[in-house]
Chains A and B, each alone.
Chain A
Amino acid sequence: MSKKILLEHAHIEGIRFYETYRKNGGYRSVEKALKMSPDEIVEEVKKSGLRGRGGAGFPTGMKWSFLAKPEGVPRHLVCNADESEPGTFKDRYLMEFLPHLLIEGLIVSSYALGSNATYIYIRGEYAWITDILEQAITEAKANGWLGKNILGTGFDCEIYVQRGAGAYICGEETALIESLEGKRGNPRIKPPFPAIQGLWMRPTVVNNVETLAAVVPIINMGGDEYAKIGVGKSTGTKLLSVCGNVNKPGVYEIDMTISVEEFIYSDTYCGGIPNGKKLKACIPGGSSVPILPANLLLKTAKGETRMMNYESLADGGFATGSMMGSGGFIVLDETQCIVRHTMSLARFYNHESCGQCSPCREGTGWMYKILKNIEYGHGKMSDIDLLWDVQRKIEGNTICPLGDAAAWPVAAAIRHFRDEFEWHINNPVEAQTRNYGLAHYADPIHVPTV
């Protein structure tokens, strides 16, 4: 079922500007929220069951309640708009077309968390969106939604937009904080967590754009009502950015009750695979989550229909499942080469590693070089096991999740498409001219554990 909550008004012309946005029910949630107490808002968000939309899916209400509140120390809310994951572009859509929705969500959330200085850390490449946001902030300020004494409640709030300088790693919350402080964007070693010592050593909450935008409908309709949308612990709606071999790539809002099959083939959403090609594989949640072959994507290992929600996509763990992640839905048809695809992801993570901790700094480059060898016909059969071993040594041993993000796609590609890797190595010349085609999904395939 198609349900639009966040993107309800996205199609209206001029919704980017304050007047139109306000006419369509904008800033109602601020009016409502400022009459509530901050704790009540946190309680509403808890009731809504909203989960972080940035990738990890951590319950937002819980995260907010962890925020330390020492006397006399300012707290901060930071909006993570450093959306740089390959395949993910939902926040860009949201900020570009509905900047006021984000501002509105930020004001409500700032009030709930007691943040008087709120920051939007936006990806450096989104230069034009920075201008859109700046304009929206100016408009909101001119109309009394920002600044001193908002709506006469005595609550002050300023929103500042800060552009990143083009580093994927700054999407990691502690690296983002470092970068926001003007330092090198190296992730911090946790603990202490940002909720205790974040921006300028003050308690900080870092949330994704979509998460903060979702606070608006939660306040408008109430947490309980919001929790009724969706299924189980996957409440509310989720934005998905679809790219790859589909007829209708783009940003879709789903309510997490549809199946993956419906999402790919239904005309409401992706509209199927072009040119009558067959589905080969799909990355359901942004480049860092494990890739799934078609048979495991549409049905779980238990034979149930796989649904588009946090639980169902993760069903079976990494052996036969994947993750909802940030919602970057990348579809690959039978003409795509998994080895080449994995290589380009490995190249990305090699390029974007911050270089702080050794397994990620050295290991990502090593994986890329091995994959390059295999792709260009210089691979050896032992390289596959070596690759498996290298990713295993990176995963879980790094400071931040980038190491895991680099290891998972490689691990999943070997786990599910080992036959294609072997074909590449056995037929180096042929592999340069044609693709392997549909894999003979040999799941479960033997994968060395050591």
Chain B
Amino acid sequence: MSEQIKVTIDNITVAVAPGTTILQAARQIGGEVTPPAMCYYSKLEGSGGKCRTCLVEVSKGSEKDPRPMPKLVASCRTPVSDGMEVKNITSPKVLDARAGIVEMLLINHPLDCPVCDQAGECHLQDLSYEHGASSTRYEFDRRTFEKEDIGPYIQLHMNRCILCYRCVYTADQLTGKREHGVLDRGDHAAISTCIGKALDNDFIGNVIDVCPVGALTDKTFRFKNRVWFTKPVDAHRDCPTCSGKTRLWMRGDEVYRVTARKDKWGEVEEWICNTCRFDKKQASDWTIEGPSKIDRHSVIAQGHYEGVLKPQNFLPEVIGRNPKLLMNIHDVSGVNKNDIELSKLNGPAHAADFEQ
């Protein structure tokens, strides 16, 4: 490791390698100082800079040149320099601009979350929840696009697209030949194939994972379930084309959906192939490793009961002696047996589950 340079983000100093972007440095700190990123994807070369949600204020350029940068900069594409001071959530200017960007992203978004398969794991939902306003000032018809069929696996909802270009970069860098791209310009720019082609490359399914919104969704999972009802389980199989390390979204023994494993920034860890993603929908196809770690704040985590602590016995401390006759309901009831993992059960627990 070469020498480290120091950058201060929201008054927190972190040492990073030269060439690191502000966003990556902020991710090293983690937490609230990390700017949101809708278009940047660390695994895709050239991505970022487009959505403008990660704008930050550089209040001090570097140790050598302490002048602040005149405009807000896209943190995902701006490399840090030694002694740089960055303001993210401590800058009202940044928060104001970010609220503006979220508003712009939402004015033409259909907000059809109740019927959208991405709901629950949608970055735009998270973003608007954190930075958006509760009402809109836009009073015109929302922009709509004609429906386009892009093959048997992937469903394209152009109305929901925020034109982050992630899927374009994915197809460019992961597949041999890109079949889709951005057509037209301005507010009519659309992700499309030229003309009416199907996306059928072996690795094209990954565009579903990189899509931050519900513009590209899995046709084999379409309207099958809500993501928060399914339980994510890490699994693997011996796949000849990809690493085979995936995440299964299960309900009971049924595999509803297969995706790649994502890290805490919502980015894919290892790309997976179409066979693993679309064809292997039997639990018997997979070796299950165990439940996936899901951020506690995610709606998906609501289906989990792992790590629930057994209530402590405080009574002796309170009354100063052991009670003469006290039935501890936690010990008596079979429902509280330690060896039953509620998160592994399908649906609500019944007495029968505990009497195995």
Contacts and interface: CB of A to CB of B under 8 A. Distances in A.
Q: Do A and B come from one complex?
A: yes
A350 interface: yes
A377 interface: no
Interface in A172-210: 184, 189, 191
A362 interface: yes
B185 A355 contact: yes
A392 B103 CA distance: 13
B187 A358 contact: no
Interface in A154-180: 167, 169
Interface string A366-387: 1001000000000000000010
Contacts of A365: 143, 186-187
A167 B189 CA distance: 14
A149 interface: no
B101 interface: yes
- By size class, the interface of chain B is 35 or more
B247 interface: no
Nearest to B55: A397
B189 A189 contact: no
B84 interface: no
Interface string B219-252: 0000000000000000000000000000000000
A354 B49 contact: no
Given A358-B52, A393-B103, A167 B162 contact: no
Interface stretch (B69-77, B306-314, B326-334): B69-77
Interface string A123-167: 000000000000000000000000000000000000000000001
B50 A358 contact: yes
A191 B188 CA distance: 28
B163 interface: yes
Interface string B182-202: 101111110000000000000
A396 B104 contact: no
A361 B52 contact: no
B138 A355 contact: no
Contacts of B53: 358
Contacts of A353: 185-187
Given A361-B189, A362-B108, A398-B52, A355 B163 contact: yes
B187 A350 contact: yes
B48 A355 contact: no
A5 interface: no
Interface string A388-417: 010011001111000000000000000000
A363 interface: yes
A352 interface: yes
A393 B96 CA distance: 8
Given A350-B187, A355-B182, A397-B101, A369 B140 contact: yes
Contacts of A396: 71-72
Contacts of A393: 97, 100-101, 103-104
Interface in B46-62: 48-53, 55
B105 interface: yes
Nearest to B78: A191
A386 B137 contact: yes
B77 A189 contact: yes
A361 B97 contact: no
B101 A355 contact: no
A357 B97 CA distance: 14
Contacts of B77: 189
A358 B101 contact: yes
Nearest to A363: B104
Contacts of B72: 396-397
Interface string B72-115: 10100110000000000000000011001101110110000000
Nearest to B184: A355
Given A397-B55, A399-B49, A364 B186 contact: yes
Interface in A330-371: 350-359, 361-366, 369
Given A184-B182, A350-B186, A351-B186, A357 B49 contact: yes
A362 B50 contact: no
B189 to A, nearest CB: 3
Contacts of A361: 104, 163, 186-187, 189
Contacts of A352: 185-186
Interface of A: 167, 169, 184, 189, 191, 350-359, 361-366, 369, 386, 389, 392-393, 396-399, 450
List the 7 closest A-B pairs by CB distance, nearest first.
A393-B100, A355-B189, A189-B49, A362-B104, A353-B186, A365-B187, A355-B186
Interface of B: 48-53, 55, 71-72, 74, 77-78, 96-97, 100-101, 103-105, 107-108, 137-138, 140, 143, 162-163, 165, 181-182, 184-189
Given A361-B104, A366-B104, A450-B96, 10 more contacts: A350-B187, A351-B186, A355-B186, A356-B165, A358-B105, A363-B104, A393-B104, A396-B71, A397-B71, A397-B72
26 contacts: A167-B185, A169-B185, A350-B186, A350-B187, A352-B185, A353-B187, A354-B186, A355-B185, A356-B189, A357-B51, A359-B52, A359-B100, A359-B101, A361-B104, A361-B186, A362-B187, A365-B143, A365-B186, A366-B104, A366-B107, A366-B138, A369-B140, A397-B71, A397-B97, A398-B52, A399-B50
